[in-house]
Amino acid sequence: MCGVFGAFCKNGSSVLEDIYLGLYALQHRGQESAGIAWNPYGGGQEVLSFRGMGLVHVALDQKHLSSIMSNSAIGHVRYPTTGSSDLSNAQPISANYSMGSIAVAHNGNITNARGIRKMLEARGAIFQSTTDTETIIHLMAHQSHKPTLDALVDALRRLRGAYSLAVLLGNRLVAARDPWGFRPLVIGRRDDTTYVASESCALDIVGATLVRDVEPGEIVVIDETGLKSIRIPHTAERKYVCSFEFVYFARPDSVIDGRSVYEVRKTLGCRLAGRSPCPSADMVTGMPDSGTIAAMGYAQCSRQRYEKAIVRNRYIGRTFIQPTQRVRNLGVRIKLNPIKSLISGKELAVVDDSIVRGTTVKRVISMFRQDGAEKVHIRIASPPVRFPCYYGINTPTCEELAAARLDMETLRSEIGADSLDYLGIDDLVSAIGLPGMDVCTACFSGDYLDGGEGNGMDL
């Protein structure tokens, strides 16, 4: 899972500081690396870029970026799915070839990238990274007789899987979303500046208004003449909008395909209360922060008391280093700490967004027990995660997924809960509010997009 952000200003004002701010708002989508690429002010031929490892404020120099004049730029925050954790795999990926300059920021996972890479390497291509994103640039370079936009369109039609892109083609900003619509991508506007972003929350930080979503299979070209839309020449049989974006990944203040993430999560909790009530519980609480909103919906619809009974240390990120054995032994308690006075002697209904490996929920239940909880009932506001995701979420293999290894009763016993229940797939889709055939539930159902092994040359 990654985040992309792009901006183009018709009046020539610099946009690099806006890109920096947009990436800050998308930090939840990737903490491994961050980067910005821009077209030099005045329409220079070579695209320039900064990339670095770590969080946005570590990887990028905001003060220096604010001094650079460029009216077209893109940015990226990376969460690795394809390719190792290395600076060479940080994005945007850029190149200057015979037809002009290009930079690409990509969210998603191209499922036939391996076949395309083998074909291109057989033709003499030399790859500089191990990411699937680089295949896009090489596909374009092997069509050097075509203008850059035509080469990009032809490259995208050969891809399978998930890609939401912010692209610089010379001084043009291009947004593209795969024909299946796996990952979100939106367009926003503030005065003379047009933006593209993985989520609408990134538009808010720069004072832009959400215009619309980039449609599945659409390529949007933004330049000094305005906005033009063209289609990727591939007809998808159905859409695959990622349900896990609504369950966990997206920020609750975002709107995806016209649906408020906050409202969806609250509805998930409400439907969970109807499906699996826990009337004997003294209170409902949520696992911070991803289970909080669903827990509020659960409590509201079950007419039970809601308490924020577990606190998250907001200064601990995913990349927290555990330097000593004592710190390692503390484990989850470094990030999460129950409020003992609230839970001692109480029966709890604890709502979370999902169970992946089961490690965290097991340790949290143990903490509740240590702090005096009488009973702990676990309610999950999504179906069991039984299958890996191949479209941009780095989920474990089936043998590592708790719900794939264990039946419900064995898993309940394994994590130490007094009861365990999940939301059903039908309830999940209904809460999202999109047509069932437009929603991807592959990590829950195993219903994957067919294809993805070829090299794209037969398409």
Does 319 score more than 80 pLDDT?
Answer: no
Give the residue range(s) of CATH 3.40.50.2020 domains in the chain. Answer: 263-433
**pLDDT tens-digit readout, 125-164:** 888 888 999 999 999 988 888 999 999 999 999 999 999 9
Q: What pLDDT score was predicted for residue 322?
A: 43
Give the residue range(s) of CATH 3.60.20.10 domains in the chain. Answer: 3-236
- Indicate the length of the chain as a whole number: 459
Does 328 score more than 80 pLDDT?
Answer: no
DSSP codes joined into one string, 166-207: EEEETTEEEEEE-TT--S--EEEEETTEEEEESSTHHHHHTT
Q: What pLDDT score was predicted for residue 88?
A: 85
Does 402 score more than 80 pLDDT?
Answer: yes
Cα dihedral 345, 351, 355, 358, rounded to 10, equals -10
Q: Look at 44 and 264; give whichever has higher pLDDT.
A: 264
The whole-number average pLDDT for the span 18-43 is: 92
Residue 50 forms beta bridges with which residues? 36
Does 314 score more than 90 pLDDT?
Answer: no
Q: What is the pTM of this model?
A: 0.92
Q: What pLDDT score was predicted for residue 217?
A: 97
Distance of alpha carbon 1 from the chain centroid: 4
263-433: what CATH class? alpha beta
Q: What pLDDT score was predicted for residue 327?
A: 54
| Domain 3-236 CATH assignment equals 3.40.50.2300 | no
Does 116 score more than 70 pLDDT?
Answer: yes
Report the alpha-carbon distance of residue 327 to residue 273 in Å, rounded.
Answer: 37
Catalytic residue ranges: 2
Strands (E), 276-323: 283-286, 310-312
Q: What pLDDT score was predicted for residue 140?
A: 92
